[in-house]
A and B are shown apart, each in its own frame.
Chain A
Amino acid sequence: MNSRTFAAFVGPSVFMMLLFIAFPLVSVFKQSFYVTQPIYETVEKETCTPGFLTQTCVTEQVSQPKLDEHGEIITQTQYVGLQSYRNVLEPERAWRAISDGSWHVLSTINFWKALRFTLTFTLITLPLVVGCGLGIAILINNAARAIRGPVIFVSLLPFIITPVIGVLAINWLFRGDGILTAMMEWWLNRDIALFAQAWTIEVLMMLYRVWHVAPFAAIIFYAGLQTVNQDSLESAVIDGATRWQRLKYIVIPHLMPLIIFVAMIHLMDSYRVFEEIVGFSSQGYVISLQWLTFDYLTPDQAGNRSISRASANSMLTMIGVVILLILPLRRTWRDHKGGH
């Protein structure tokens, strides 16, 4: 295939990715150094209230946005350097908190709070997803052939459901005196409020994520289990290997590439954790990095979006993505060079 035909085939797709992914990235990078805000002017305003004999008048200085001739607010864009980053990170306060060793103060700064949760969430769910996925795959593989189809159908449901709706479904089971909370209260014989402190919400979020992603891991591992070499399993049995040893020395090494694949996908996806915050409406207790950007982008009560802060926060989030991707990219690069 010569380069012109190649360009004709690939062109539209590359064009869309450049226009809607690469270009926004550059513009986000630029935006993070600029702030757009209305120009304020200070005017003297006299407000009078009816009083007895004479009106009571008060003159005060009010700062209000300047309007142009169409009555629209005039805005100006200003280069502010790293100010937005400083607003997001609050380095002085964070540094003082760290040197005092007080996590409590550090977690009052949104960015650090979000970073802490995002990382905890990613690292705790990872082994759970791989473990549960592997377990379910082995169970399905052990079941009679006739019931595998229906079982896979049921297993796909948590994976296919709209994430926000899935979170809401879990939420409705636990919220207030939801049946599962009621059941736990009856079992432990004490009052439980799952949405009154951060850590229980975090546990619920992790449970949801494992419920949502484990089927995906299970399907992939199940496909991998179909290609395990039956002869080596049999010879292992004849050599006297226990079930556990067979799993450890034959099955898991065979599945290793798939385990790495699932782990990579899960790291990328759980680093972007977002729907859980919306569905549990937990912003008062727990927030994530992507949710923070979303929050900056949502108009506040005055209708302003803090685009500049959102951009700075996005850029900081990106650092994590880059770190996440370095290892697999290096491996792919080595494979590619080795292949030629």
Chain B
Amino acid sequence: MSSRALRQPFSLRLTSNIFLALWCLIAAFPIFWIVVMSFKSPVDAFDSNALNVIFGPATLGGGKGLSLLDIILGIAVIWVTIAFSTKTLPSMVKSYSKPGQEWFGWVIGVLVVLVSFLVAFFVILPAILSVLNPWFGPLGRDVLGLTTEHYKTVWIDRGFSNNFKNSLIVTTGVVTVSLTVGTLAGYGLARSGSTLAFWILIVALVFRALPHSVLVAGYLPVFINSAEWLAPILGENAPTLYGKPFAVIAVLVAINQPFTIWMLRSFFQNIPAELDEAARVDGCSHFQAFRRVIMPVMWPGVITTGLFSFLLAYNDFLVTALLLDAQNQTMVPAIVGMFNRETTTTDQVVAVAAAVSITAPLIFLVLIFQRQIVSGLTAGAVKG
């Protein structure tokens, strides 16, 4: 594709690729490392020798480990799952689901694959291996220390599932509300060239730069005393907004709103205005034009913006740490709490396991939505 004049000498290409590999190593290493640490006993996880962390002799000594056979079969199951879901699954979804309702087919397909993978990996495989391992002699002997006990501690003993549930409530709320409100506003702003629209966008830009702690300083006294000043309106059972997930949802939606409307506006500007003008000529009102003509074609932009709203709500520490009480705490502040409170290495590894648990969904998100994330990043830049 590139012309001969621009062809690069071999040495330059080699150097360039070596540096690229180095960058990939730097980018992935810290994440890879906490994953490795989370599966080891505390002695191994914080060992100063990297090889000890990877192979985990102390974990192995505790009787927890994997044999070569375990590793080979485990990788095989994972590989089959990946191959199936990237090659066979799309065509199966296409042929079995009704046209126009393919998303439903995808949901079922992904759920089936996920459940069968979990069953195969965590139930069937260990059962088969416990029979096979003794037969294979050296191949069946444990070589790699690995334990899942920290995950059990986090999710079952420490009540992390409760934090997970709270995070789920907050993120779902934030994504739905901010998309509903933001889509309308983004459309309105994209189709109006008035000075008012310009000023709204500028003010939104200023709001985007505000440190979040400034806003929380404004909410806290109001939220803590809300039972008092809401009493004249709501009577006896006026709620204290402090500590309530729905109050945090409203706050995060508002904080996210400037970014959302800028992004959605740039997506709507890419949808030709002739489309809704045609609908208007045929007698639609603005709302009907929006519902019937724009809504069917706006999903790529909405999904991308939704991803970024999700990230904001999921990753937030400052707002949730200050505005939620212990009972409604979300995952990120809970992990920071664990990290700061615990002093023994066992507790530190438990915090590592919690950190990996919160990161895993994000990695899957990038795997599935890489294209949308990249397009979202560049859409903001090119227009903004």
Q: A137-176 vs B: 1/0 string, CB under 8 Å?
A: 0111011000001011111111011111110111011001
Give which listed residue, A27, A281, A298, contacts B340 with CB less than 8 A. A281
Give which listed residue, A10, A25, A162, A271, contacts B332 with CB less than 8 A. A162
Is there contact, CB below 8 Å, between B374 and A219?
A: yes
Let me know if A258 is at the binding interface, CB within 8 A.
Answer: yes
Let me know if A6 is at the binding interface, CB within 8 A.
Answer: yes
Instruction: Enumerate B28-68 residues with CB–CB distance to A below 8 Å.
Output: 28, 30-31, 33-34, 37, 46-50, 53
The secondary-structure label for the interface of chain B is helix
Instruction: Enumerate B219-241 residues with CB–CB distance to A below 8 Å.
Output: 219-222
Instruction: Enumerate A259-314 residues with CB–CB distance to B below 8 Å.
Output: 261-262, 268, 271-272, 274-275, 278-279, 281, 289-290, 293-294, 296-298, 305, 307, 310-311, 314
Give which listed residue, B322, B351, B377, contacts A216 with CB less than 8 A. B377
Is there contact, CB below 8 Å, between B48 and A20?
A: no
Nearest CB of chain B from residue A88's CB, rounded to whole Å: 12
Let me know if B159 is at the binding interface, CB within 8 A.
Answer: no
Let me know if B91 is at the binding interface, CB within 8 A.
Answer: no
Residues of A within 8 A of B34 (CB): 168-169, 172
Let me know if A1 is at the binding interface, CB within 8 A.
Answer: yes
Is there contact, CB below 8 Å, between A5 and B286?
A: yes
Residues of A within 8 A of B215 (CB): 20-21, 24-25, 28
Let me know if B208 is at the binding interface, CB within 8 A.
Answer: yes
Give which listed residue, A10, A153, A268, contacts B208 with CB less than 8 A. A268
Q: How far apart sit A23 and B217, CA to CA, in the bound complex (Å)?
A: 12
Q: B180-193 vs A: 1/0 string, CB under 8 Å?
A: 01101101110110
Is there contact, CB below 8 Å, between B211 and A271?
A: yes
Q: Known: A139-B20, A332-B202. Contact between A1 and B191, CB under 8 A? A: yes
Q: How far apart sit A298 and B204, CA to CA, in the bound complex (Å)?
A: 28
Is there contact, CB below 8 Å, between A311 and B217?
A: yes
Is there contact, CB below 8 Å, between B254 and A20?
A: yes
Is there contact, CB below 8 Å, between B214 and A17?
A: no
Residues of B within 8 A of A5 (CB): 188, 286-287
Let me know if B194 is at the binding interface, CB within 8 A.
Answer: yes
Q: How far apart sit A224 and B379, CA to CA, in the bound complex (Å)?
A: 11
* Stretch from A50-58, A62-70, A100-108, A321-329 contacting the other chain: A321-329
Give which listed residue, B33, B187, B367, B377, contacts A153 with CB less than 8 A. B367
Let me know if B107 is at the binding interface, CB within 8 A.
Answer: no
Q: How far apart sit A140 and B374, CA to CA, in the bound complex (Å)?
A: 14
Residues of B within 8 A of A305 (CB): 220
Is there contact, CB below 8 Å, between A290 and B378?
A: no
Nearest CB of chain B from residue A247's CB, rounded to whole Å: 13
Is there contact, CB below 8 Å, between B33 and A169?
A: yes
Give which listed residue, A139, A162, A176, A183, contacts B16 with CB less than 8 A. A139
Residues of B within 8 A of A155 (CB): 23-24, 27
Residues of B within 8 A of A178 (CB): 46, 48
Give which listed residue, B50, B196, B198, contacts A336 with CB less than 8 A. B198
Q: How many positions in chain B have a CB within 8 Å of any CB in the partner chain?
A: 102
Is there contact, CB below 8 Å, between A318 and B48?
A: no
Let me know if B314 is at the binding interface, CB within 8 A.
Answer: yes
Q: How far apart sit A178 and B36, CA to CA, in the bound complex (Å)?
A: 14
Let me know if A182 is at the binding interface, CB within 8 A.
Answer: yes
Return the chain A residue nearest B18 by Cβ. Answer: A139
Nearest CB of chain A from residue B73's CB, rounded to whole Å: 25
Give which listed residue, B16, B48, B204, contacts A143 with CB less than 8 A. B16
Nearest CB of chain A from residue B52's CB, rounded to whole Å: 9
Q: How far apart sit A216 and B311, CA to CA, in the bound complex (Å)?
A: 14
Let me know if B335 is at the binding interface, CB within 8 A.
Answer: yes
Q: How far apart sit A219 and B322, CA to CA, in the bound complex (Å)?
A: 33
Residues of B within 8 A of A97 (CB): none
Is there contact, CB below 8 Å, between A10 and B184?
A: yes
Is there contact, CB below 8 Å, between B28 and A28?
A: no
Let me know if A12 is at the binding interface, CB within 8 A.
Answer: yes
Is there contact, CB below 8 Å, between B197 and A293?
A: no
Give which listed residue, B24, B197, B214, contacts A314 with CB less than 8 A. B214
Let me know if A16 is at the binding interface, CB within 8 A.
Answer: yes
Let me know if A13 is at the binding interface, CB within 8 A.
Answer: yes
Is there contact, CB below 8 Å, between A275 and B317?
A: yes
Residues of A within 8 A of B189 (CB): 10
Let me know if B355 is at the binding interface, CB within 8 A.
Answer: yes
Is there contact, CB below 8 Å, between A234 and B213?
A: no
Is there contact, CB below 8 Å, between A297 and B23?
A: no
Is there contact, CB below 8 Å, between A314 and B5?
A: no
Return the chain A residue nearest B51 by Cβ. Answer: A179
Residues of B within 8 A of A332 (CB): 202, 205
Q: How far apart sit A293 and B3, CA to CA, in the bound complex (Å)?
A: 56
Q: How far apart sit A113 and B382, CA to CA, in the bound complex (Å)?
A: 37
Residues of B within 8 A of A20 (CB): 215, 219, 250-251, 253-255
Contacts A223-B382, A274-B318 given; 15 further ones with Cβ under 8 A? Answer: A5-B188, A16-B257, A24-B222, A31-B217, A136-B23, A152-B374, A153-B367, A160-B373, A162-B359, A168-B335, A172-B352, A179-B53, A310-B213, A317-B211, A329-B206
A-B contact pairs, 5 of them (CB 8 A): A153-B370, A172-B352, A223-B374, A294-B213, A311-B218
